[in-house]
Amino acid sequence: MATQTSDLLAAAAPRTVAVVHGITDDQLALPTPCQEYTVRDLLNHLYDVVVNFQALAAREPVVWADKPDRLTDGWRDRFETETRRLVEAWSDPASEQGVSPGMGMPQPVVGGMALLDLTVHGWDLAVATGQAYEPAPAALPALHELAGQLGPTARQMGVFAESVAVDTALPDLPRLLGVTGRDPAWSPAG
């Protein structure tokens, strides 16, 4: 079966997986648009998201404090496998029903948060490592709606930085990046 969330994750996931496969070991210490994260740090964070949101799809408890270094032998292929499992977890229609006991939000919003992380952090990692990134076009309208909905609380909790003013005539991705506190013109050189 499939759900709206799994369809959008399935469209977005290969794009981020391709970026992850393109990251070389000598790029792991590079800075990213997430000021407190190097490429290695952001990869580990995104790995945590992919694994933990599988559990959240099944309404299982998640411990965010555990921060294992997931970048051991075969990490690129394991990331791809875990991302596939994320899509599968959200393809169960029950994953979109009710409120998440761990997050206190409607399950579709929780699934959307995984989609947002895959998309925005896919861009973060791509721009930090000099790769091209094109988001899944089908995901962008839902992500704009979600970012607008979560924005004030996400900024208050430090999940999003303050919005960056972006020309509204720009394409969807730069506007989404601005809402999440990223400068679409960011480069590793500053």
How many other CB atoms are there within 10 angstroms of residue 96's CB atom? 19
**Mean pLDDT calculated for residue range 71-78:** 97
- pLDDT for 190: 63
Residue 98, Ramachandran bin (φ over 0: left; ψ between -120 and 50: alpha; else beta): left
Residue keyed to tokens 């800075």: 31
Q: How confident is the model at residue 8 (pLDDT cuts 50, 70, 90)?
A: very high
- pLDDT for 164: 85
Greater pLDDT, 23 or 104: 23
pLDDT value at 168 more than 90: no
- pLDDT for 122: 98
Among the ranges given (13-27, 68-82, 107-121, 165-179), the one the predictor scored with the smallest mean pLDDT: 165-179
d(CA 62, CA 104): 13
Per-residue pLDDT of 103-156, as tens digits, reads 899 999 999 999 999 999 999 999 999 999 999 999 999 999 999 888 888 888
Closest by CA position to 9, among listed 76, 54, 70, 62: 54
pLDDT value at 14 more than 90: yes
Q: So where are the chain's domains?
A: 4-138
pLDDT value at 97 more than 90: yes
Greater pLDDT, 166 or 70: 70
pLDDT value at 17 more than 70: yes
pLDDT value at 33 more than 80: yes
CATH classification of 4-138, choosing from 3.40.710.10, 1.20.120.450, 1.10.260.40, 2.40.110.10?
Answer: 1.20.120.450
Residue keyed to tokens 């091209």: 132
